[in-house]
């Protein structure tokens, strides 16, 4: 699947490296196990550490959790 999206990951206003960590966080937010694997490897290739990867996932979890709470009180 990544080969279909290569154009999206080219350097632009965000670097390919920055886009890769965003993709990892989104993959966890949408809970796609295939994406977890693909983007974890892709991010690792971009020289992010496991700590940085986990921090990105924690940000995604916090945003998703906030949305769940917001909808829960409505």
Say if residues 26 and 14 touch (Cβ distance below 8 Å).
no
Mean pLDDT computed over every residue of the chain? 87
Instruction: Give the pLDDT band of residue 3 (cuts 50, 70, 90).
Output: low
Cα→Cα distances 57→6, 12, 13, 16, 29, Å? 22, 23, 22, 18, 8
| Multiple choice CATH, 16-72, 1.25.40.10, 1.20.1290.10, 1.25.60.10, 3.10.270.10 | 1.20.1290.10
pLDDT at 7: 79
Question: What pLDDT is attached to residue 58?
Answer: 93
């Amino acid at each position: 699947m990544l080969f279909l999206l290569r154009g999206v990951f080219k350097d632009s206003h965000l670097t390919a490296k920055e886009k890769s960590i965003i993709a990892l966080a989104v993959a966890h937010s949408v809970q796609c196990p295939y994406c977890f694997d693909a983007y974890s490897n892709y991010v690792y290739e971009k020289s992010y550490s496991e700590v940085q990867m986990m921090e990105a996932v924690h940000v995604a979890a916090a945003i998703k959790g906030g949305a769940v709470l917001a909808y829960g009180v409505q």
